[in-house]
Amino acid sequence: MSVIFFLSSQTGADSEKISGAMQTVFGSLLIKIFGTGGTQLKIYDAIEFIIRKSAHVFLFFCLGLSFSLTVKNYGVKRNIFLMTVIFCFLYAASDEFHQLFIDGRSAEIRDVMIDTIGGAAGALANVLYNKIKKPPKRL
């Protein structure tokens, strides 16, 4: 949550620098593979969108996984997946609200949904792992 808050606290310009660096690396690679043509700007725009939204999914995947593991460790046995999805949704909504007060940032409902999907995927990873792992052998 601290990492998400820190990244959301960056100004729009600072956030652009981080994603712009990644965009340059991946964009250059794709242009080398597919050539320049007239689609160079479209490639860079698509890459920026993918990089930014992948960061949302990854960070909230980590949050969903860690929240579901924490809740389970506290002895909760029912509705862990649902609790995690609700928690991630509420944190994503509060994070987008927080961004309204940061220069050059805005709140996007689409980002809340993407974040929630990432959190749900993290919770689902925990559920699936627990379903497929074998219990330890007893002596």
* pLDDT for position 131: 86
- Taking alpha carbons only, the member of 72, 22, 73, 54 closest to residue 118 is 54
| Distance in angstroms (rounded) separating the CA atoms of residues 115 and 131 | 24
At residue 133, the 3 state secondary structure works out as: coil
CA quadruple 75, 76, 80, 85: dihedral, nearest 10:
-100
pLDDT digit string (tens) for 88-106?
999 999 999 999 999 999 9
pLDDT digit string (tens) for 15-72?
777 776 776 777 777 777 766 666 666 766 777 788 888 989 999 999 999 999 999 9
CB 85 within 8 A of CB 123: yes
Token pair listed for 95: 């994070």
* pLDDT for position 37: 63
Only one residue has tokens 């969903």, namely: 64
Residue type, 52: R
Q: Kindly state the average pLDDT of the residues 109-132.
A: 95
* pLDDT for position 109: 96
| Distance in angstroms (rounded) separating the CA atoms of residues 124 and 103 | 35
| Domains of the chain, residue spans | 2-132
* pLDDT for position 40: 65
* pLDDT for position 47: 77
Cα distances (angstroms) measured from residue 101 to each of 11, 18, 52, 130 = 10, 20, 20, 40
- Taking alpha carbons only, the member of 92, 13, 83 closest to residue 57 is 92
